[in-house]
Structures are given as structure tokens and as C-alpha cells.
Amino acid sequence: MLIRNAKITEGYEIEALVKLCAEDSEGMMITPEETVGAISSAVINKNSRVMVAIHDTKIIGAIIGNLGITNSSAHNMEVAMCIHPEFRGKKVGFTLAQIFVNEFSYLNIYVNISESNTIVLGLLEGLNFKEAGRLPKYIKEKSGYKDKIILFYYG
């Protein structure tokens, strides 16, 4: 497995992966419909940092960090990650996230996550992300409303 910065030409492939993840996992913070155009444009956005995990020339994971857009928030980065369903549970997400946070640990890295996404919560806690806040019943999922948890990276 190779982990590297995404190329701007890979925007649509990353978008297809995120759409697949959104269709496959109820705990995603984006719907399949919201991925259209949003992810591919994030790859070329100067305020985004994107890394991918590659297996046999195929993108199997992506992590996207969006920087704040004002001077007062430019040091903050919201991060989202997606791993192809066939590669989950194989340390792809942990390795990808670990490399990403090591690269950008000089920023205030944070994640918004559904309380139902227990696997990713465990992964993030293993990387020293800590809960900083919680919005009760903020996320509507098929199984009902879930809390949105805000985690900060404490490298």
C-alpha cells in the first residue's frame, strides 16, 4: 500500500469512493447526493489537503482536510476520511490517518463524527483524538437521530 498526496486529476475517482462509502455506511457525515461535485472540487481547492491510500493502482482510501477560510480560522482543519468497504479492518484507515495527522499536526485538526461510527471513533482515539464537544441528536440516520461528536487531535 502506498500513501501519498492526491493528484488533482484524481478528484472524480476520490469522489466515486466517497459516494460508495456514503452509500455503504450509515455513519458517514455526507450523503451520496452531497458528494457530487463537492469532493472533486475539494481535491483542487487551495484550502484543502488530500491524501490517498493506493493498492494496485486503485485508490482505496482518502482523507480530506479543509482549512478554515478566514484569517482567524486558517489554522483549523476539519478532516473527513473514507476507506473502500473491501479494505476496512485492514489498518488502511489507521495508517492513512496517522500519516495525515503527522504531516499536518501543526494545525488544529478536528473531526465531526456520528456517535454510531464506533469503529472510526476507536481509530481516532487510538491516534490521540479527544472529544471536545457533542451535539445531541444532531445527525439523522436511518436508525434515528444520533449525537454529533467533535474530536480534536492532541498529538
* Domains, in order of start, for the chain: 2-111 (3.40.630.30)
Mean pLDDT of 72-78: 85
Q: Which among 87, 75, 57, 61 has a CA at the least distance from the CA of 153?
A: 75
Q: How far out from the chain centre does Cα 117 lie?
A: 12
Q: What is the mean pLDDT of residues 91-104?
A: 96
Beta bridge partners of 48: 66
pLDDT tens, 107-154? 999 999 999 888 899 999 999 999 999 999 988 888 889 999 999 999
The whole-number pLDDT of residue 44 equals 84
Alpha helices by DSSP H, 37-126: 38-44, 92-103, 118-126
Residue 70 pLDDT exceeds 80: no
Cα–Cα distance, 152 to 107 (Å, whole number): 11
- pLDDT for residue 34: 76
The per-residue pLDDT of the chain, averaged, comes to 90
When pLDDT is averaged across residues 15-38 and rounded to a whole number, the result is: 79
Question: Is the CB of residue 38 less than 8 Å from the CB of residue 128?
Answer: no
Flag whether the pTM goes above 0.95. Answer: no
Residue 27's pLDDT is: 66
Q: Binning pLDDT at 50, 70 and 90, where does residue 71 land?
A: confident
Evaluated on CA atoms 11, 46, 7, 61, the torsion sign reads negative
Report how far residue 24's alpha carbon sits from residue 127's, in angstroms, rounded to the nearest whole number.
24
